[in-house]
Amino acid sequence: MPSDAAEIERLRAAFDARLRAYLDERRSELPEAIDLLDEVERTLGAGGKRLRPAFCYWGHVAAGGIADDRIIRAAASLELLHTFALVHDDVMDNANERRGEPTVHAKRGPNVAILVGDMALVLADDALMGSGFDEKDLHRAFDVYSRMRRQVIAGQYLDLEAAHSQIDERIARRIAVLKSGSYSIEQPLLMGATLGGASDDVLRDLSAFGSPLGEAFQLRDDLLGTFGQPSITGKSVDSDIREGKRHVLYTKALDGLEGEDRDFFVARWGGSFLSDVEVRRLRSLLETSGARAGTEELVVGLLAQAVSALEKAALDERSREALGALADLATKRSA
């Protein structure tokens, strides 16, 4: 079946092959930028499930689009966009490890990392516009793609601003949607569907599925960022605590703590020079406050909402099964 693990892996291999070929073309065109292109490829090659291009591909197929090399090219551009976001995020977070490998920031310094991220963004635009679709479809898809870029940058800014203030769960969830949820699932779906000439009804159906699923995806990411296994996730489980991330876990913990525990949590969360003992206590308070369990419940509820929307959507069975499999991959994961 096209929705099983073998099909997901086949698509991933197709995206990776297209990205390698595309980067080789750019090296021939601009040898002066080989170092930057090598870092883009190193970041891409460190891992990743290629969820964004997969959702774009199946959004296209769900809309009745032809599953040819054009959509592989267009969908693969989203992985370059994601690389831009990751590299710049690592600079802002002063992160040293990503997917078990040194970040560009750690390996080459922040100045080179900024240029690598910029290069990935420019390449993403170029790869999409050179994918081979006709001008009308590309123009419509670029509107979706451009909205996606604006949202992820706005979400990143809000995330930075929130680090210096107390926020509630509503704002934390909005940041999660803008920073990652929307550009990870909903907008890739809509971009692919638009390239496939989707009707307004299909776009609404895909949005109803992708919106809650995107939020669930980011909440799972937050949970793994604190409670995952570093050997599997490829990154530290202390960084969000040390950086003082104002995510849903944080807001739920504030709501669930009282007295000395709450005072400690507020004073130490994101504090400078936290000891390992303090980090462990902060992580424990996320458990005892009910924040972890509450966030898990929210993930389950959002996934159920997405699955319900998918079941009601006017899609062919092949697309429905594939999107259902991707929904599980996005939310029931360990990395």
Tokens of 116: 């690598």
Q: Where do the structural domains in the chain lie, given as residue ranges?
A: 5-331
DSSP three-state, residue 249: helix
Strands 101-102 and 97-98: antiparallel
- Read off the pLDDT of residues 232-284 as tens digits, 9 standing for 90 and up: 888 888 989 998 999 999 999 999 999 999 999 999 999 878 999 999 999 99
What is the residue-averaged pLDDT of the chain?
A: 94
Task: Give dist(CA 89, CA 84) in Å, integer.
Answer: 8
DSSP 132-157: ---HHHHHHHHHHHHHHHHHHHHHHH
Q: Average the pLDDT over 4-23 and give the result.
A: 93
131: DSSP letter: S
Residues 68-100 have pLDDT tens digits of 999 999 999 999 999 999 999 999 988 888 888
pLDDT at 3 over 50: no
Q: Is the pLDDT at 4 greater than 80, yes or no? A: no
Tell me how many degrees the CA angle 308-313-318 measures, rounded to the nearest 5: 100
User: How far apart (Å, rounded) are the C-alpha atoms in residues 183 and 78?
Assistant: 9
Taking the C-alpha atoms of residue 37 and residue 84, their distance in angstroms, rounded to an integer, is 12
Please name the amino acid found at residue 238: D
Average pLDDT estimate for 179-205? 95
User: 261 and 278 in contact (C-beta within 8 Å)?
Assistant: no
Buried b / exposed e over 129-149, threshold 16 CB at 10 Å, is bebebeeebbebbeebbeebb
Angle, alpha carbons 22-23-25 (nearest 5°): 65
Superfamily of domain 5-331: Farnesyl Diphosphate Synthase (1.10.600.10)
Token digits of residue 185: 């699932």
For residue 250, what are its two tokens?
């944080």
Contact yes or no for 41/23 (Cβ under 8 A): yes
